[in-house]
Structure 1
Amino acid sequence: MASLDEKPLIVQSDKTLLLEVDHPMFENARSEISKFAELEKSPEYLHTYRITPLSLWNAAASKLKAEQIVDTLYKYSKYPVPQAVSADIYTQIGRYGKLKLDRDDRGDLVLKSTDPRYIAEVIRNKKVQPYVEGPKNPNEVYVKADFRGHIKQALIKIGFPVEDVAGYEKGNDFKFELRPKLGSGNDFVIRDYQESSIKAFYADGSVEGGSGVVVLPCGAGKTIVGIGAMHAVGAQTLILVTNTLSIRQWKNEILDKTTIQESEIGEYSGDKKEIKPITIATYNILTHRKKKGGDFTHFHLFSSNNWGFIVYDEVHLLPAPVFRMTSELQAKRRLGLTATLVREDGLEEDVFSLIGPKKYDVPWKELEKKKWIAEARCVEIRTPLRSLMRGMYSVADDREKFRLSSENPEKMRVIGTLLYHHRDDQVLVIGQYLDQLQRVSARFKIPLITGKTPLDERARLYEAFRTKQIRALVVSKVANFSIDLPDANVAIQISGTFGSRQEEAQRLGRVLRPKGNGNQALFYSVITNESSEEQFCRNRQLFLTEQGYEYYIYSYQDFRDKFGTYVEIMKKMKELREGAPAK
């Protein structure tokens, strides 16, 4: 066993963990720590994690014991683990399951605990009182029937995560079979980690399962997990997705992999309003209002059928109004699918209490090693801001500083060089600002897809990209989510949404799907040196660093030395376009 000074971890009394990146035990330590702690900072040599109540409650929900967590800290810590940290871990892990939502012999909803002191404490709280009827006995209190979700939200906000074992309504039956072969003729096999996530969610139909979140990387087949869970539940299902294109992709996957007929699948979007045994709807249509502050026009979809199962795709994007409706759907089985539990609005606790705790999570690097997702390299290229732009930047406000650095014209040189270098690859140029994307599209004669691109045109361009008729696409943030371009192996990110960690994860996910001709992917981030964009970029990288990805950083000079000058590259590109041999 390693001596104390040979270990990689420092555990501080404020529950922050400092982990040495260059230590030979780093990989193992990070893998174990990430099960119960959240990454906060990831500078080059020392990563900072924090143990939070929510990270511990998710660990408890996945059956991780306090003893295992404390043992992990002792296993890797250079110095003695502060006693207060160990004590708090035992306290928070012990809190999960101390309060349970259940039903009594008559079917009434009750909040109960083996320790009557917990019941006495929570029913005195003003945030909880609107949802309880009165005591049944010292260990149980009646909960108002329609407020199962509301009381869970209220309790988690005062530090009491509830284990919900009150069961589910069956909903309308809908049985189907999984196809042994796909439309392509290949065998359809659910991968081991997909099978494990389905089992962890469904839990053989017991009350311990049936609600929760499965976290898998983009390209790892979250849709297959959703289909497998639908097969296990065997009920009419409402699937909520991010956009209309996602509806079509879910529909195609269901038709390809199950015996469900096309006539049994409904689309509920801006274009169609169909309600079928399997109905796929967008978040946008559910949050539509005729006027600001008015009623949500289509919330009736939740009650329009006796659904037995609801699937929330990209659950980290679930709009706040849908949370409110979900609080009234706690008797339905619910599955959240996501590549990251990080929410930019800080509503992770609402995901925990209303969709359910994390049921299954697998490290991205683990799937990469097994070749289930592509091996990826992340490269950051820092471009200068020329003197005139630097003067404008110095007097701009914070928001304008970010935009100026994001739309830095010097990035064109890097984009052109990368496009030439990867001319035989399938490349996505991804950005935030429409003017910038239009300039890139016009300069390099590459098709552009934005939110205003008609759906049929998007589908045509995506298909041309898949079949390699088109080698590159310029895409706005519409491509952050739920597009299936399995052969994309290079992404060039030229601007983004401030410090959005979820966006960074989703954009890398565009190139992580396994490749038919190799399994290597490249993710470039082109940023402006010594600017607010560089500062935000550090935060964007946090999630991917937590997953084990390293960022290789080039200065503009290093980049030129590696790839050649812009003038040289543009000359070569011109010769290629005109059919002359590139020198």
Structure 2
Amino acid sequence: QDNSKFREVDEKIGADLTVDLRDYQKEYVERAYEKKAAVLANPAGSGKTVTSIGLMSKIDAPTLILVPQRSLVGQWKRELLDKTTLTEDQIGEYHGDEKRMGDITLATYHMAGEKTSLFRKEWGLIIFDEVHHIPSKLFRKTASLQSTRRIGLSASPVREDSKEREIFALIGQEIGGDWARFFKQEYVLKPDVNIKLVEWESDFYRNKYNEASGFKKSIIASKNPAKIPKIESLLEQHEGDKTIIFCDWIEQGEKLAEEFDLPFISGETDFDDREDYFEKFRNDEIKTIIVSRIGDEGLDLPDAEVGIIASGQGGSRRQATQRAGRVMRPFGDAQVYIVATKGSNEEDFVKRQVEHLKEKGVPVKVEE
């Protein structure tokens, strides 16, 4: 979609950068500015958020930033205050009970899609965070918001429903998808991804799996108790390293939390408690956390060194890429372990999950 038909917005907001962009970030700011509509698909850890803030500063006009969940509003706000001359009064929020627009407005896709006053505003820029969601029914409504320029952000613009092209049709042309460039120049270091296959904990679970059908098989394989000693071994191996354990099932997360005496953060966790856990993790007060799917997207946990995936969402390439992205950064070692039940459909799923990472040049090993 070309937004050149929309006129430039005269209103200026005075959002100057207080940080220096890397050369490649400056390059993508210019490319996005010239194209007017683009999807920035740089790898996790490369600073897509900062790049988009650089674009916002260059345009210097009212900006709408859309995020998939409320927790990302606070994260974006911290980044804006830390990296620009914007003041807190200039940043509005549009979600839940909070409905105030500012020079910069942070909104959830859900609220923005309700045909609110956000549709009546002339935006100089719209930033679509985690833009891979845009083809879905709820999210795609926001693609009709008018702006002079727009940019989508996603390290994983892939979908399992074959609607990947719609991401670019609705938002703009892909730029920055060449991960090899970032790895070669060491802007971002490759994570080591290891698939750890475990046997069934007992014949009871193997028989239960064999007797089940459809989706129930996946659930049984995901919750195989034999994963617990394997995860314990990995935690011992990386003692002292900042580690995130991912799981898709609440029951499994609670069991792991009890087993290892660790906090489990899910959608059921009180919002303030959730933010408190994340802040303690950032500040090294907590070295290891367990997260449900809410940890898949946009979490600002830049010092995480190890990711352990205890269970996942079928063969979702996007989810595996996002979870690996939580430990990708420009320095240090990054290890990702995917623990799966050998000989089950989960083994097939995890091998499909890592396809996108392998295509981008990330090494993947399978170990039994």
Say if 1:175 and 1:235, in contact at 8 Å, map to a contact too: yes
* Matched-pair contact (CA < 8 Å) for 1:323–1:350: no
Which residue of structure 1 lines up, in the alignment, with residue 94 of structure 2? Answer: 268
| 1:174 paired to 2:12 | yes
Alpha-carbon contact 1:236-1:308 (below 8 Å) kept: yes
Long gaps (5+) in structure 1: 1-148, 150-163, 181-187, 204-208, 288-297, 556-583
Shift in Å at residue 370 of structure 1?
Answer: 3.3
Match of 2:139 among 318, 322, 328: 322
Q: Deviations over 1:428-481 (max 9, x none)?
A: 110100100100000110111101212221221112112222111011110101
2:344 to 527, 531, 547: 531
Aligned equivalents of 1:417 and 1:343: distance in 2?
33
1:217 correspondence with 2:63: no
Please report how far the alpha carbon of residue 399 of structure 1 lies from its aligned counterpart in structure 2 after TM superposition.
0.1
Paired AA for residue 521 in structure 1: A
For the 8 Å contact 1:172–1:306, the answer to whether it is kept is: no
Cα gap change, 1:165 to 1:433, in 2 (>3 Å): closer
Distance 1:303 1:441 in 2: 43
8 Å CA contact 1:330, 1:354 repeated in 2: no
- Aligned with 1:373 (options 177, 188, 192): 188
2:17–2:57 contact (8 Å) kept in structure 1: no
Cα contact 2:63–2:103 (8 A) shared by 1: yes
Distance 2:191 2:175 in 1: 26
How does the TM-score come out when normalised to structure 2?
0.94
Q: Report how many residues are paired.
A: 366
**Could you tell me how far 1:309 is from its partner in structure 2?**
1.5
Q: Which amino acid aligns with 2:88?
A: E
Q: Which residue of 1 aligns with 2:121?
A: 305
Contact map agreement 1:267 1:281 (CA 8 A) in 2: yes
Give the distance between the partners of 2:213 and 2:111, measured in 1 at CA. Answer: 35
Q: Give, as a single letter, the amino acid of the residue that structure 2 aligns with 1:479.
A: G
**Per-residue deviation, 1:321:** 3.2
- Counterpart of 1:299 in 2: which secondary structure? coil
Question: Is structure 2 residue 268 aligned with structure 1 residue 456?
Answer: no
Equivalent of residue 27 in structure 2, options 175, 181, 196? 196
Alignment of 1:431 onto 2:247: yes
- Counterpart Cα distance in 2 of 1:274 and 1:393: 51
Residues 48-69 of structure 1, C-alpha deviation per residue, up to 9 Å, x if partnerless?
A: xxxxxxxxxxxxxxxxxxxxxx
Q: 2:64 aligns with which of 238, 246, 250?
A: 238
Structure 1: distance between partners of 2:15 and 2:145: 27
- How far has the Cα of 1:172 moved from its partner? 5.0
Q: Is the 8 A contact 2:168 2:174 kept in 1?
A: yes
TM-score in terms of structure 1 length:
0.60
Once the two structures are TM-superposed, the CA of residue 541 in structure 1 deviates from its matched residue by 0.8
Name the residue aligned to 2:108: 282
* 1:306 Cα offset (Å): 1.8
Q: Which amino acid aligns with 2:118?
A: F
Residues 242 and 482, structure 1, Cα contact 8 Å, conserved in 2: no
What residue number does 2:362 align with?
549
CA distance in 2, matches of 1:320, 1:438: 32
Matched ranges for 1:134-533 at <5 A: 164=2, 166-180=4-18, 188-203=19-34, 209-287=35-113, 298-318=114-134, 319-326=136-143, 328-329=144-145, 332-363=148-179, 365-385=180-200, 386-515=202-331, 519-533=332-346
Residue type at the aligned position of 1:257: K
Give 1:261 shift.
1.3
Q: Structure 1 counterpart of 2:197, which letter?
A: R
Give unpaired runs (5+ residues) of structure 2.
none
- What's the CA shift string for 1:230-288, capped at 9, x where partnerless? 1222210111012122111111111111111110101111241111121010123335x
The one-letter amino acid of 1:321's match is L
The question of whether the paired residues in 1 share the 8 Å contact of 2:246 and 2:290 is answered with yes
Counterparts of 1:309 and 1:399, CA distance in 2: 42
- Give the 3-state SS of the residue equivalent to 2:5 in structure 1: coil
* Distance change in 2, residues 1:331/1:492 (3 Å): closer
What residue identity is the alignment partner of 2:335?
Answer: L
Deviation at 1:542, TM superposition (A): 0.6
1-structure distance, mates of 2:203, 2:238? 30
- Asked whether the equivalents of residues 110 and 138 of structure 2 are also in contact (C-alpha less than 8 Å), the reply is no
Instruction: Give the aligned partner of residue 110 of structure 1.
Output: none
Q: Name the CA distance, whole Å, in 2 between partners of 1:197 and 1:317.
A: 22
Rate the CA distance shift 1:360–1:368 in 2: closer, same or farther, 3 A: closer
Structure with more relative contact order (C-alpha pairs < 8 Å, separation 6 or more): 2
Paired position in structure 2 for 1:540: 353
User: Is residue 126–residue 147 contact of structure 2 (8 Å, CA) maintained in 1?
Assistant: no
* Alpha-carbon offset, residue 530 of structure 1: 0.5
Maintained 8 Å contact 2:196/2:339: yes
CA contact (8 A) 1:437 1:476 kept: yes
Contact residue 3 and residue 147 of structure 2 kept, 8 A:
no
What is the letter of the counterpart of residue 191 of structure 1?
R
Match of 1:121 in 2: none
String of CA shifts for 1:306-352, please: whole Å, max 9, x gaps. 222111011002242332442x3466421111102212332222222
Q: Which region of structure 1 is more displaced relative to structure 2, 408-417 or 166-175?
A: 166-175
> Distance between the aligned counterparts of 2:117 and 2:131, measured in 1?
18
Equivalent position of 1:579 in the other structure:
none
